[in-house]
């Protein structure tokens, strides 16, 4: 097989996950209790047999760097590599890179060095399961210049806002790109995952940089629809675009159902993550738990209904956690009632006894808050 290089892009500017993103890129956010968002896409790469991966980081690299360097994504420790590429010498700027093209261009030498035939470019704010080797086969057989992964969605008025919607012809070639402004319910959503020859990628990056400093990879690909053969490859199954707090909350709630979770994560398609060496979770006699997923290291005395509980969380007697996402290392004290809440890491909820959001607008508790 020809060499394939995986490029993990950073999130585009339309992504803003209120609160959570103030502390780390969304790709580093905890999800489903024991994972980070980025684990799903990196595991897609390695489960597809791609073990040379570049991870581009837009800003606040600390949590991503720490997580990735301490996780073995089942990559051969000598021949494979995950390369972390974040901007340097940019103190004072909020962001190290503004658009992805800037990052791609800056670090093109690290792509060149790999001598790959193809690149798979995937987003870091999406969660889905995809075998890229199947997609590559399709790309080669259908003689496309570029192949884009897409999903037939019926909720584009609610989700995937400001992403690309694809118009396809009968041969599944993309004829036009539209920005999703939420007008329609149905559409072919681009999953911002592209396969193309490395050479094409390099040309596109050069072209975009020459066009405008605001141009992104998706912009230049949209521009090229007339001159290049852009094919579309359909993704089936669960897909989440984590671009808002509600989308983050919904993704947790949807995947936590046993059937959905086991489709996304199973023996044939493991999702790798950093081990914390926490012991199993202790459910004390007073605990009442159902409809939830729970990570290891928790001590639960209270009631947990329909929620996602992160690692090393303590829920005291009389506390009720309902329809909520509790990130790792938090403490929910006695008699605290939480409903539709997203509680960020390392926070302690003890004085405020009632916190209630809605499924439409979950309430967010800041990282490290003591309330």
Partner 1 sequence: MKKNNMVAMILAGGRGSRLFDLTKKVAKPAVHFGGKYRIIDFALSNCANSHISTVGVLVQYESILLSSYSARSSTWGLDSKGGGVYVLSPREKDETGLGLYNGTADAIYQNLDFLDQEEAEYVLVLSGDHIYKMNYEKMLQKHIESKAEATIAVIEVPKKEASRFGIMNTDSTDRIVEFEEKPKEPKSNLASMGVYIFNYRTLRRYLREDAKNSESAHDFGKNVIPAYLNDGLKLQAYRFKGYWKDVGTIDSLWEANMDLLKDNSGLDLFDPSWKIYTDDASATPQCIGSKAKLNNAFITQGAVINGEVNHSVIFSGTRIEEGAKVTESVIMNDAVVGKNAKLTRCLVADGIRIPEGMVLGKKNSDEILLVSKALIAKAGENHE
The answer to whether 229 and 173 are in contact (CB under 8 A) is yes
Please report how close the Cβ of residue 79 comes to partner 1 at its closest, in angstroms: 18
CA dihedral for 270, 344, 29, 358, sign (positive or negative): positive
* Comparison of 181 and 284: residue with beta carbon closer to partner 1: 284
* Comparison of 33 and 87: residue with beta carbon closer to partner 1: 33
Q: Which residues bind partner 1 (CB under 8 A)?
A: 32-34, 256, 258, 261-262, 265, 270-273, 275, 277, 279-285, 287-297, 299, 304, 306
* Comparison of 16 and 269: residue with beta carbon closer to partner 1: 269
Please report how close the Cβ of residue 204 comes to partner 1 at its closest, in angstroms: 35
* Comparison of 10 and 45: residue with beta carbon closer to partner 1: 45
The answer to whether 256 and 127 are in contact (CB under 8 A) is no
Please report how close the Cβ of residue 366 comes to partner 1 at its closest, in angstroms: 23
Please report how close the Cβ of residue 82 comes to partner 1 at its closest, in angstroms: 17
* Comparison of 256 and 316: residue with beta carbon closer to partner 1: 256
At 11, is the secondary structure helix, strand, or coil? coil
Please report how close the Cβ of residue 120 comes to partner 1 at its closest, in angstroms: 22
Please report how close the Cβ of residue 273 comes to partner 1 at its closest, in angstroms: 8
Please report how close the Cβ of residue 275 comes to partner 1 at its closest, in angstroms: 4
* Comparison of 270 and 368: residue with beta carbon closer to partner 1: 270
305, 294, 274, 188: which is closest to 239 by C-alpha? 188
Which contiguous run of DSSP H or E holds residue 116? none
Distance CA 133, CA 150 (A): 16
* Comparison of 161 and 261: residue with beta carbon closer to partner 1: 261
Q: How far is CA 216 from CA 35, 100, 184, in A?
A: 28, 6, 24
Please report how close the Cβ of residue 293 comes to partner 1 at its closest, in angstroms: 5
Phi, psi of 202 (to 5 degrees): -65, -40
Look up tokens 């508790």; give the residue.
Answer: 365
| Residue 173: exposure state from Cβ atoms within 10 A (0-12, 13-18, ≥19) | middle
Distance CA 324, CA 358 (A): 10
* Comparison of 167 and 296: residue with beta carbon closer to partner 1: 296
Q: How far is CA 180 from CA 151, 162, 280, 352, in A?
A: 14, 5, 44, 40
Q: How many CA atoms lie within 13 A of 134 on its CB side?
A: 10
């Amino acid at each position: 097989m020809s060499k394939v290089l995986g490029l993990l892009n950073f999130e585009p500017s339309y992504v803003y996950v209120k609160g959570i993103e103030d502390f780390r890129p969304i790709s580093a956010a905890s999800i489903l209790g024991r994972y980070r968002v980025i684990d799903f896409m990196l595991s897609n790469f390695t489960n597809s047999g791609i073990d040379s991966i570049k991870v581009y980081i837009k800003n606040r690299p600390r949590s991503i760097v720490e997580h990735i360097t301490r996780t073995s994504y089942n990559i051969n420790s000598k021949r494979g590599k995950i390369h972390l590429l974040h901007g340097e010498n940019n103190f004072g700027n909020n962001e190290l890179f503004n658009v992805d093209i800037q990052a791609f261009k800056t670090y093109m030498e690290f792509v060149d060095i790999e001598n790959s035939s193809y690149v798979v470019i995937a987003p870091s704010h999406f969660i889905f399961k995809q075998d890229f080797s199947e997609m590559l086969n399709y790309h080669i057989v259908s003689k496309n210049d570029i192949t884009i992964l897409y999903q037939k969605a019926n909720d584009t008025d609610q989700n995937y806002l400001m992403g690309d919607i694809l118009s396809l012809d009968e041969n599944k070639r993309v004829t036009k790109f539209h920005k999703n402004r939420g007008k329609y319910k149905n559409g072919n959503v681009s999953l911002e995952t592209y396969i193309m020859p490395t050479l094409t990628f390099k040309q596109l990056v050069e072209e975009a940089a020459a066009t405008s400093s605001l141009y992104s990879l998706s912009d230049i690909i949209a521009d090229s629809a007339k001159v290049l053969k852009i094919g579309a490859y359909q993704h089936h199954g669960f897909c989440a675009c984590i671009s808002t707090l509600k989308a983050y909350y919904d993704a947790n709630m949807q995947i936590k159902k046993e059937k959905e979770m086991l489709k996304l994560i199973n023996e044939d398609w493991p999702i790798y993550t950093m081990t914390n060496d926490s012991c199993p979770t202790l459910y004390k006699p007073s605990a009442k738990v159902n409809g939830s997923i729970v990570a290891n290291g928790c001590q639960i005395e209270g009631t947990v209904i329909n929620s996602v509980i992160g690692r090393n969380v303590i829920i005291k007697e009389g506390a009720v956690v309902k329809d909520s996402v509790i990130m790792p290392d938090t403490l929910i004290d006695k008699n605290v009632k939480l409903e539709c809440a997203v509680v960020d890491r390392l926070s302690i909820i003890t004085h405020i006894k009632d916190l209630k959001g809605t499924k439409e607008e979950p309430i967010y508790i800041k990282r490290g808050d003591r309330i």
